[in-house]
Amino acid sequence: MKRHSIALALAAALAIAGGAQATARPEGINKVNGGIIASAGQTYGDLETVNGGIQIEAGVHAGNAATVNGSIKVAERAQTGDLGTVNGGIRLDREVQVDGGMETVNGDVFVDRGGRISAGVSTVNGAIGLVDADLGKGIETVNGDITVGVGSHVHGGIKIEKPTSNWLPISMGKRRPPRIIIGPNAVVDGPLVFERDVRLYVHKTAKIGSVSGATAVPYDGERAPEE
């Protein structure tokens, strides 16, 4: 999982870049404090900030987008490179194309219908949800729920790592096991590997690889069983 590069390399790189005077470059936007808006239909290079969210509007073509403290929102039919944040979520509207992967430490990831991501998705303390989306590689998390929703295709596996002292949940008290749902007509090509207790629900029309560390509970309705 690349999360170490988010928490360390991303923060360091943005701080160094911003420390030299936060300026807008012709090929992209780089700043320390404040959000970034990439205007609809325009073309940008990399979008980078330390303290602020990134909003990529409809039809934008952009390079990588990265922040430390903020969320990333991408509107319909936009195209981007890698998307990464430490403290914030990532949300893609319909028909977004990501030439790369998506990572967050403390935040959820959601990909709406028609989304195409060429690499994988990873979080530490955040849920991951796909709806009729195509993921070029696998999914990894430690404490997050995962929903591979209706019609989605993951060209890789799913891995939930065992928590360590460095990646304990932020919330206090006992935490329920992650809930993993493979929905109607969804496909996960690779193995499903669980290094901790999870609740795994697989729709009867879904196709998955081998499972280790959990027992799949089949279901055939529109929604997985409630716990």
77 contacts 61 by C-beta, under 8 angstroms: no
- C-alpha of 1 from chain center: 12
111 contacts 117 by C-beta, under 8 angstroms: yes
Which helix H or strand E contains 152, and what residues bound it? none
- C-alpha of 212 from chain center: 23
Would the pLDDT of 23 be above 60? no
What pLDDT is attached to residue 24?
A: 43
What pLDDT is attached to residue 51?
A: 97
Q: What is the pTM of this model?
A: 0.88
Give 14's pLDDT tier (boundaries 50, 70, 90).
Answer: low
Q: How far apart are CA 217 and CA 167, in angstroms?
A: 28
Structure tokens at 217: 């509970």
**CA count, 13 A, side-chain hemisphere, 57:** 8
Q: How far apart are CA 36 and CA 47, in angstroms?
A: 7
